[in-house]
Amino acid sequence: MAELTLTTFLTIDGVMQAPGGPDEDTSGNFPYGGWLVPHADDDMGKTMVEIFSKADAFLLGRTTYDIFSAYWPRVTDPNDPIAGKLNSLPKFVASHTQNTFGWSGSTHVRDVTKEIADIKKRFPREVQVHGSCGLAQTLIRNDLIDEYRLLTFPVVLGTGKRLFGAGAVPATLRLVSSSTTSKGAIVSVYRRAGSLKTGSFALD
């Protein structure tokens, strides 16, 4: 059975909204779309190629699906390691407002918390979530993510949609690996490690 993994780009203050361009997601009058672009480098590219190489299928929120479907079908090089995966593998789209999608291999998911177990049973390695802020928060609240792959960039925005929003279930994560890119991004891989534990440094 596949694992459900989440890969996302973050600022130091946890914002994941519109990393790749000014028009990706302007909701809330977000003014900083494209904040990641000056920090992209070959190391980031190699990391993403490695991540995509493990995919059997994708689970995407509606906004991320729209961004991907407007771009990746236009990349027709069969040897492109990311386009090849996205254009050929199954894509499950979590949406409450739309149930038909034009990108080949796309399937509507109405209630992701109920359907994800059956989706995972269909694949041997990974069902990957990329970005998809609202979907990611739903999965986090329901403790459904097996592995987090967080690419944190040296940027502070002070506003925007955050990965761990209100309602996130308190939990402990275990660091599996970490590395840095030439432009200062930190690539961290975490897995679930059980419920949150607390303690005290008090002397009494």
Q: Read off the pLDDT of residues 77-88 as tens digits, 9 standing for 90 and up.
A: 989 999 999 999
Task: Give the mean pLDDT of 178-188.
Answer: 98
Position 167 scores a pLDDT of: 80
More reliable by pLDDT, 166 or 125: 125
Model confidence, pTM: 0.94
- Sheet bearing 55-61, strands edge to edge: 106-109, 91-94, 55-61, 126-130, 3-11, 147-153, 186-195, 171-180
Position 140 scores a pLDDT of: 94
- The reply to whether 204 falls in a domain is no
As for how many domains the chain has, the answer is: 1
- In whole angstroms, give the CA distance from residue 148 to residue 40: 20
Q: What percent of the chain has pLDDT over 90?
A: 91
Position 169 scores a pLDDT of: 87
CATH number of the domain within which 164 lies: 3.40.430.10
User: What percentage of the chain's residues is helix, strand, coil (to nearest 5)?
Assistant: 25, 30, 45
pLDDT interval class at 19 (50, 70, 90):
very high
- The reply to whether 112 falls in a domain is yes
Position 100 scores a pLDDT of: 84
- The reply to whether 203 falls in a domain is no
- The reply to whether 135 falls in a domain is yes
**Res. 166: pLDDT tops 90:** no
Return the SS3 of 159: coil
- The reply to whether 201 falls in a domain is no
Task: Give the mean pLDDT of 183-200.
Answer: 95
- The reply to whether 202 falls in a domain is no
- In whole angstroms, give the CA distance from residue 34 to residue 126: 28
Q: Which domain holds residue 125?
A: 3-195
pLDDT interval class at 72 (50, 70, 90):
very high
- The reply to whether 7 falls in a domain is yes
- Write the pLDDT tens digit of every residue in 87-130: 999 999 999 888 889 999 999 999 999 999 999 999 999 999 99
Task: Give the mean pLDDT of 166-175.
Answer: 90
**Res. 165: pLDDT tops 90:** no
- The reply to whether 143 falls in a domain is yes
| Mean pLDDT, the chain, integer | 96
